[in-house]
Amino acid sequence: MAKTQASLLLQKQLKDLCKNPVDGFSAGLVDESNVFEWSVSIMGPPDTLYEGGFFNAIMTFPDNYPVSPPSVRFTSEMWHPNVYPDGRVCISILHPPGDDPNGYELATERWTPVESIVLSIISMLSSPNDESPANVDAAKEWRERRDDFKKKVSRCVRKSQEML
């Protein structure tokens, strides 16, 4: 039953996103027969290091959505303090419900509908959180060697444009 409800909710949210698109974001299904896996494209936000980039990601929803949040993994190369080296995005809105075992976040700061998740990812690109990084090397570089960080991000942006 839960999977059916999740499936109906996801179909509705995808339809809503297509009708009222979020700036700098598009989504579709990876495979028409599976509403639990979305292929998303995120444009690098204006006035950020990621501007001009077209970054692809896979958003995978659990069977018990919306009780548990989806996971998001960039398939495009991404250099960012809040993105693991394997592309997985680590931001509070994607953490499971309940209070944070590390004590950093309250359950109320956690995820909500897809649109909010997308806006959070776009915001993450605009202002990295280097306090609890997923990619320690990127966070260290962001703090200590900003020019090197910018070069790596520029390379990711260029690569993403070549994939178009």
From the list 6, 42, 89, 90, the catalytic residue is 90
Using the 8-state DSSP alphabet, how is residue 22 labeled? P
Instruction: Find how far residue 104's CA is from the centre of its chain.
Output: 19
Q: pLDDT (tens digit, 9 = 90+) per residue, 2-49? A: 789 999 999 999 998 889 888 899 999 999 999 999 999 999 999 999
User: Does residue 102 have a pLDDT over 70?
Assistant: no
Residue 119 CA: distances (Å) to CA of 4, 51, 63, 126, 140:
26, 15, 23, 11, 25
Q: List, as one string, the DSSP characters of 136-159.
A: HHHHHHHHH-HHHHHHHHHHHHHH
**Cα angle 139-142-144, degrees, rounded to a multiple of 5:** 105
Q: What is the mean pLDDT of the chain?
A: 89
Indicate if 18 belongs to the active site.
Answer: no
For the chain, list the domains and their CATH numbers.
2-162 (3.10.110.10)
pLDDT band at 97 (very low <50, low <70, confident <90, very high): low
The pLDDT tens digits of the residues spanning 55-88 come to 999 999 999 888 888 999 999 999 999 999 999 9
By the 8 A CB rule, do 81 and 138 touch?
Answer: yes
Enter the pTM of the model: 0.86
Between CA 34 and CA 81 the distance in angstroms is 31
